[in-house]
């Protein structure tokens, strides 16, 4: 288990149960009845986000402007960040068609607790806009 992955779920640990499967290095977290895969957020970031926001989250400037997610106060609202990923925002594609609700929440929780961000509240599927 990578420390980074563990850190990304620390806020969840305050009020959730951590299950270590036997011999399985993956860390899973239960919120209510839903099982969240703590490593999924990082995997989703790599597959869906880093192409534009870069592996270090610092974004890029070139043909387009891809904002840095590093220490970004605009991620302060869990709900607004979920909305951005769900519906897109100008040059940012909407992920509603490509990701499950739980996956959107996982990747949002990942970016809000990595890249120098340390927001304590946790996004949930109830933040997904209708």
User: Least distance in Å: CB of 53 to ligand HEC?
Assistant: 5
Question: Per-residue x/- marks for ligand HEC, 88-117, CB under 6 A?
Answer: -xxxxx-x-----------x---x------
* Binders of ligand HEC in range 58-87 (CB under 6 A): 64, 66-67, 69, 72, 74-75, 81, 84-85
Measure the CA–CA gap between 72 and 115, rounded to whole angstroms: 9
CA torsion, points 73, 34, 92, 119, in degrees to nearest 10? 10
CA torsion, points 62, 64, 69, 75, in degrees to nearest 10? 160
What Rg do the C-alpha atoms of the chain give, in angstroms? 14
Is residue 41 involved in binding ligand HEC (CB under 6 A)? Answer: no
Is residue 55 involved in binding ligand HEC (CB under 6 A)? Answer: no
Residues that contact ligand HEC, how many (by CB under 6 A): 23
Contact 41, 110 (CB under 8 A): yes
The residues binding ligand HEC (CB under 6 A) are: 48-49, 51-53, 64, 66-67, 69, 72, 74-75, 81, 84-85, 89-93, 95, 107, 111
């Amino acid at each position: 288990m990578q420390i980074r992955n563990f850190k990304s779920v620390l806020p969840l640990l305050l009020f959730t149960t951590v299950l270590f499967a036997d011999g399985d290095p993956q860390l899973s977290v239960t919120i209510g009845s839903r099982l969240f895969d703590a490593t999924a957020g990082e995997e989703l970031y790599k597959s869906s986000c880093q192409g534009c926001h870069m592996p270090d989250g610092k974004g890029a400037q070139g043909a387009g402007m891809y904002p840095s997610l590093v220490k970004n106060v605009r991620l302060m609202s869990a709900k607004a960040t979920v909305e951005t990923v769900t519906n897109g925002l100008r040059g940012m594609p909407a992920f509603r068609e490509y990701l499950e609700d739980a996956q959107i929440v996982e990747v949002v929780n990942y970016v809000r607790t990595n890249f120098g961000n340390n927001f304590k509240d946790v996004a949930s599927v109830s933040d997904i806009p209708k």
